[in-house]
């Protein structure tokens, strides 16, 4: 992409309405624009990151055997009357009437809808287990939408729903999601800590929140330091195997929800030098709730002896749009965002320091063309601007590698390579620079 043609409305000044760094940087980097309280338009740069996060989530879900569907955003009120949640959900639910005066709503979650889809499609225990997910916009009329995409009203969520014949099966399904979540967040460069949690309005008796450490987080975190340093990507996960030992190994028992109680248990259990007390952002939440929806909604299958069995269910959410903000909270400096390569909007930023210099521009165009031919995503700053402005913008938007080409270096056969995360700069011949960035 040529920056001269790209829609990238960056801001020099800090927007007054943004209280936390990720919100400030997303506005300044031209990633999002607010349309109403807690409702955002995603601009080209932000949308590229959102899609990268979505892709990682999808790949890790598919690896478990879960299958992707797409359910609508608008649901009928009657569906929610079947479970009894229509009245219980309260003012967070955006209620709408269509032209025939039928009561509709913008879905805050999809337990009811998926339960009816399952109920109509599966009749026997032989067709279990099943796990279905979608990545779709949700609406929750939060009392205090704030922090940009971190606590929005309209937000993108990945939600799965598992269906099993008994509790043992449901636990296996739950544990698969637990392992997939560890991998998902690790691939995004995040340290996510699973904490036992309350189930809230979703209901049920087993739940974990996945929390990444950040000072601006809304959740309190108490855990053993060792949990933060564990590495999941170095392990091979066999989704057919028993994953309970892995779940036990990775769980922090000191939940973020009942601070006083947990603080005491925490201090009793964990030696002082290993205690970590911090703030964090909830990026995922998983629930096992048995027959809470299948019983009232009559989602039953026939068992081995022909008996009717209400299916055991779980649901599993990831805040896909929240993750964009959460990753920035975890990875930035004074100059701007530092994207982990796996989610970066472009892998390489190419800076032409003198666009009216024929040799420099030819070297840049050749490199731009060859990187694109290799499938490497490159943002080429070919604008007629002074170098300082180009450096500032490229640092702000956080592209992992910068290749800087100017007349002096080029005369000596060199380009400059800058690694955004470490700030390291090197003068290299072009081939060395390409090797360094894995091109
Ligand atoms: N049905 C269950 C699991 S699918 C459910 O809705 N869980 S949840 O309420 O915990 O939401 C799942 C994830 O969505 C949360 O972990 C959080 O990362 C994200 N999320 C929830 N509310 C918001 C919000 N207002 N803005 C941005 N992300 C949100």
Ordered per-residue pLDDT tens for the chain, 439 residues: 999 999 999 999 999 989 999 999 999 999 999 999 999 999 999 999 999 999 999 999 999 999 999 999 999 999 999 999 999 999 999 999 999 999 999 999 999 999 999 999 999 999 999 999 999 999 999 999 999 999 999 999 999 999 999 999 999 999 999 999 999 999 999 999 998 877 666 666 789 999 998 888 888 888 888 888 889 999 999 999 999 999 988 886 665 585 545 677 788 888 899 988 888 999 999 999 999 999 999 999 999 999 999 999 999 999 999 999 999 999 999 999 999 999 999 999 999 999 999 999 999 999 999 999 999 999 999 999 999 999 999 999 999 999 999 999 999 999 999 999 999 999 999 999 999 898 7
215 close to 280: Cβ distance less than 8 angstroms: no
**Residue of 319, 325, 327 best suited for mutating to test ligand 1, as the one with most atoms within 8 Å of CB:** 319
346 close to 385: Cβ distance less than 8 angstroms: no
Q: Are strands 312-319 and 332-333 parallel, antiparallel or unpaired?
A: unpaired
Our answer on whether the CB atom of 54 is closer than 6 Å to any ligand 1 atom is no
Nearest to 341 by CA among 396, 300, 401: 401
Nearest to 294 by CA among 83, 129, 75, 134: 83
Separation of CA 193 and ligand 1 centre (Å):
16
Q: Which residues of 401-417 are buried (b: 16+ CB within 10 A; e: fewer)?
A: bbbbbbeebbeeebbbb
Q: Which residues of 179-194 are buried (b: 16+ CB within 10 A; e: fewer)?
A: bbbbbbbbbbbbbbbb
d(CA 182, CA 184): 6
Separation of CA 203 and ligand 1 centre (Å):
14
Atom 1 in ligand 1: residue holding the nearest Cα: 109
Atom 23 in ligand 1: residue holding the nearest Cα: 151
Atom 4 in ligand 1: residue holding the nearest Cα: 317
Separation of CA 89 and ligand 1 centre (Å):
15
d(CA 150, CA 142): 12
Closest atom of ligand 1 to 160 CA is: 4
371 close to 405: Cβ distance less than 8 angstroms: no
What pLDDT score was predicted for residue 268? 84
Separation of CA 145 and ligand 1 centre (Å):
13
DSSP 172-218: HHHHHHHHHHHHHHHHTT--EEEEE---GGG--SEEEEEEEE-TT-S
Separation of CA 157 and ligand 1 centre (Å):
7
Compute the residue count for the chain. Answer: 439
Closest atom of ligand 1 to 111 CA is: 1
Our answer on whether the CB atom of 284 is closer than 6 Å to any ligand 1 atom is yes
d(CA 325, CA 217): 11
Atom 10 in ligand 1: residue holding the nearest Cα: 285
283 close to 212: Cβ distance less than 8 angstroms: yes
């Amino acid at each position: 992409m040529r920056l001269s043609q790209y829609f990238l409305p960056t801001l020099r000044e800090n927007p007054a309405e943004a209280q936390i760094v990720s919100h400030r940087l997303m506005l300044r980097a031209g990633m999002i624009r607010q349309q109403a309280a807690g409702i955002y338009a995603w601009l080209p740069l932000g949308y590229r990151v959102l899609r990268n996060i979505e892709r990682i989530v999808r790949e890790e879900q598919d690896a478990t055997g879960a299958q992707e569907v797409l359910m609508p955003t608008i649901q009928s009120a009657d569906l929610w009357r079947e479970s009894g949640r229509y009245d219980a959900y309260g003012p967070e639910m955006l209620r709408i009437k269509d032209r025939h005066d039928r009561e509709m709503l913008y879905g805050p979650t999809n337990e009811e809808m998926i339960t009816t889809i399952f109920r109509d499609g599966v009749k026997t225990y032989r067709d279990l287990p099943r796990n279905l997910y979608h990545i779709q916009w949700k609406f929750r009329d939060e009392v205090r939408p704030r922090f940009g995409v971190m606590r929005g009203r309209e937000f993108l969520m990945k939600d799965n729903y598992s269906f099993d014949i008994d509790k043992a099966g449901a636990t296996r399904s739950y544990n698969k999601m637990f392992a997939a979540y560890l991998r998902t967040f690790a691939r995004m460069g995040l340290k996510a800590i699973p904490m036992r949690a309350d189930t809230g309005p979703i209901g049920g008796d087993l739940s974990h929140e996945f929390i990444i450490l950040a000072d601006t987080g809304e959740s309190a975190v108490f855990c053993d330091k060792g949990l933060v340093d564990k590495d999941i990507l170095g392990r091979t996960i066999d989704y057919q195997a028993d994953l309970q030992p892995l779940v036990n190994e990775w769980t922090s028992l000191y939940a973020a929800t009942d601070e006083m109680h947990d603080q005491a248990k925490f201090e009793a259990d964990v030696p002082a030098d290993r205690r970590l007390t911090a703030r964090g952002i909830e990026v995922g939440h998983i629930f096992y709730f048995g027959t809470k929806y299948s019983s009232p909604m009559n989602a039953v299958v026939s068992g081995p002896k022909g008996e009717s069995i209400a299916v055991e269910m779980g649901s599993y959410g990831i805040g896909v749009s929240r993750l964009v903000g959460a990753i920035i909270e975890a990875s930035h400096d004074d100059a701007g965002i530092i994207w982990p390569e796996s989610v970066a909007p472009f892998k390489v930023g190419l800076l032409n320091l003198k666009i009216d210099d024929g040799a420099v521009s030819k070297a840049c165009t050749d490199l731009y063309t060859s990187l694109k031919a290799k499938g490497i995503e490159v943002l080429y700053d070919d604008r007629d601007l002074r170098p300082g402005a180009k450096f500032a913008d490229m640092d702000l938007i956080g592209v992992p590698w910068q290749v800087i080409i100017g007349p002096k270096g080029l005369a000596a056969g060199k380009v400059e390579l800058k690694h955004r995360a470490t700030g390291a700069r090197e003068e290299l011949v072009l081939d060395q620079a390409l090797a360094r960035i894995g091109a």
